[in-house]
Amino acid sequence: MCDYDDELYHERLPNVCGAINAKAKNCCSTDSIKRKLPICTWLPKYKAKYLIDDIVAGLTVGLTAVAQGIAYGAVAGLPNVYGLYSSFMGSFTYIFFGTCKDITVGPTAIISMMVNPHIDGNPDLAVLLCFLSGCLILLLGLLNLGVLMRFISIPVTTGFTLAAALTVGSGQINNLFGIQSNSNEFLKSWINFFGHITETRRNDALLGCCTMIVLLFMRKLKDVKWGFHQLNRYLSLCRNVLAVIVGILLCYLLSRGDNEMPFRISGEIQAGLPPVRVPPFETQDADGEPMNFSEMVSKLGGSIASIALLSILESVAIAKSFSKGKIVDASQEMVALGCCNVFSSFFSSMPITGSFARSAVNNASGVQTTLGGAITGILILMTLAFLTPTFAYIPKATLAAIIIAAMLFMVEYDKIAEIWRAKKRDMLPFLATALSCLFWSLEYGMLVGIVVNALFILKKSMTPQFQLETQKHNGIELCLAELKGSVDYTAAEYLKITIVTHVTERHMGNGNVSLVIIKGAEINSIDATVAATIVSLQEDLKLLQCDLICWNWNLAAAGVVCRLHKKSRNMFKFTKNFSELLETIPPAHGGNDSHIACDLNQ
């Protein structure tokens, strides 16, 4: 025996080594490198005529990113400058790893909203969260786990988007009217608003409401056909930037010194480029007490995983929206997003992901390649270097109007209507997700939606599709069960209980079922649990003076039962039609196993 094993070992060793070498060569092949670094594919094909389009798109997105970066830094509870820090490095990194030319990576309203309660305004915690979530996203991408995104259904993502938009918009309602507020949560924001509505500042309310109305009007300006259509389109794309510029001018012109501002302003923004340093692995809490790495991770808790998951969802969803018929490699998008977060964390960034609003601007501006992200990054760097004193005059009401106007169009109204029309049952996971996110938390609300959706799938697998009817043939009363789909272990017990209950009820009534036939031509395979349940069903039916026949089962499925219990071979029958089956059954229903193929033992 030892000699045989040794000989077999030496025979198989070259094959194993060959397979390992082949996989190693494949990992280092040119095609593999191009898959992981898409820039190697599009850069050699880059044409000079693309440059103008990429520059125009990059500048347009950059102006929008500056305004939103400042706003989302405040949403996250951080100094405004961290929103700008988070905007530029992601744009550069995505050039090398991203597959979708339209995606722009940076801070978003949803992610900023989710970061806020976990960091208590501590930038070190935000940067570490960016690094750790980035590492997790990168690991999932390298393991090709993009397929996991298929388990999150449209009703769940639609419900989450609705709740996130309502939460983020509600968090800015106080700033829109100049009311002091320390909360960005849905309920607390509205409670604070109605509780302090008498503290509304007239100037802030007028500026905020007028700004939002103008933004909504300018959004539709691109659809106006009269006049200079191209100019209208660019004015529509730059509406956020124009709103910021007008807000700054009004605040500067109406101010009477630093202590007499006409509006509540964002405050001074730290000038200069972001510091390049390793993500902090120790910091101090709000009371000045030192926190080591393990305490920081404990403080961040489940937000590391939840923010990573939602970052992936946002980015992959945007890639699919702008794919235009191309297949989206979700795993590569995860690699790109992970790298963006990891590298950005070395530049004091909070967690970032793909932004739908800026990606839409990028697409509408005619971007040709991901090189447009470089122009966006350069513009943000120039802003940090030279324009931060100017942005200190941005009114909070202006930023609130920009965020609320964006959130109004983030809700996918058409998808909600489609879900209602297509299948009303899918409204349950949608509502479960939306309500849990609104009244509990965004991260746990998403999990609630996934669990509710999984329960539907589990329920479906526990109730196999089969028709059960009683017939009489040649004086024999029989029960015919025709399975319509696969039978998993979760459905085995349901099948058994249903058949036994039906036979028992017939015996208690006027009928007397003496034979049960299970037609299983559509069953391709079963597991050991189903096989054991079939054997148990046969024994239970014998106690009721009833026989069991499995008719025209797939050989692979029948083989599992026969290998488990060899004496069960006689209950399998294989005939062309139902009449031939009845002819093989003698009055005693003993059966004839001549139709059983030898494949059942294989």
pLDDT for 550 equals 87
Comparing 42 with 390, which gets the higher pLDDT?
Answer: 42
Comparing 25 with 100, which gets the higher pLDDT?
Answer: 100
Q: Mean per-residue pLDDT for 130-155?
A: 86
pLDDT for 228 equals 65
Residue 315 Rama label (left phi>0; alpha psi -120 to 50; beta): alpha
Q: Is 380 helix (H, G, I), strand (E, B) or coil?
A: helix
- What is the full DSSP assignment across 418-454? HHHHH-GGGHHHHHHHHHHHHHT-HHHHHHHHHHHHH
pLDDT for 595 equals 36
Report pTM. Answer: 0.68
Residue 3 has pLDDT above 70, yes or no: no
527/412 Cα distance (integer angstroms): 42
What is the dihedral sign for C-alpha 197, 200, 206, 210?
Answer: negative
Question: Tokens 């979700």 — which residue?
Answer: 330
Q: Mean per-residue pLDDT for 84-112?
A: 85
Nearest to 140 by CA among 266, 316, 279, 300: 316
Residue 522 has pLDDT above 80, yes or no: no
Task: Specify which of 20-29, 159-168, 292-301, 558-567 reaches the highest per-range mean pLDDT.
Answer: 292-301
Sequence-distant (≥ 6) Cβ neighbours of residue 74 within 8 angstroms = 80, 83, 266, 396, 399
- 496-521 pLDDT, tens digit per residue, is 888 888 888 887 777 788 888 888 77
pLDDT for 597 equals 35
175/375 Cα distance (integer angstroms): 32
Nearest to 102 by CA among 321, 314, 310, 309: 321
- 328-373 pLDDT, tens digit per residue, is 788 888 999 999 999 999 998 999 998 877 887 777 667 888 888 8
Parallel/antiparallel/unpaired status of strands 290-291 and 283-284:
antiparallel
317/295 Cα distance (integer angstroms): 34
461/490 Cα distance (integer angstroms): 6
Residue 60 has pLDDT above 90, yes or no: no
pLDDT for 338 equals 93
- 406-458 pLDDT, tens digit per residue, is 778 777 788 888 888 888 888 898 899 889 888 887 767 878 888 888 888 77
Instruction: Determine which helix (DSSP H) or strand (DSSP E) holds 353, and give its type and residue range.
Output: strand 353-354
- Going from the C-alpha of 441 to that of each of 123, 133, 187, 447, the distances in angstroms are 22, 19, 11, 10
CB 106 within 8 A of CB 352: yes
Q: Mean per-residue pLDDT for 229-243?
A: 76
Comparing 110 with 94, which gets the higher pLDDT?
Answer: 94
pLDDT for 206 equals 92
Q: Mean per-residue pLDDT for 254-281?
A: 78
Mean pLDDT of the chain, nearest integer: 80
Cα Rg of the chain, angstroms: 32
Residue 94 has pLDDT above 50, yes or no: yes
Beta bridge partners of 519: 482, 551
Residue 105 dihedral angles phi and psi, to the nearest 5°? -105, 135
- Going from the C-alpha of 102 to that of each of 98, 241, 322, 364, the distances in angstroms are 10, 20, 7, 9
CB 414 within 8 A of CB 289: no
pLDDT for 591 equals 40
Task: Sort 434 into a burial class: Cβ within 10 Å, 0-12 / 13-18 / 19+.
Answer: buried
19-23, 246-250, 434-438 — which is least confidently predicted? 19-23
pLDDT for 258 equals 60
Q: Which domains does the chain carry?
A: 49-276+291-452 (no CATH), 463-601 (3.30.750.24)
pLDDT for 5 equals 47
Task: Specify which of 207-216, 308-317, 523-532 reaches the highest per-range mean pLDDT.
Answer: 207-216
Residue 593 has pLDDT above 50, yes or no: no
CB 105 within 8 A of CB 353: yes
- Could you tell me the pLDDT band of residue 586, with boundaries at 50, 70 and 90? low
Comparing 344 with 7, which gets the higher pLDDT?
Answer: 344
pLDDT for 399 equals 80
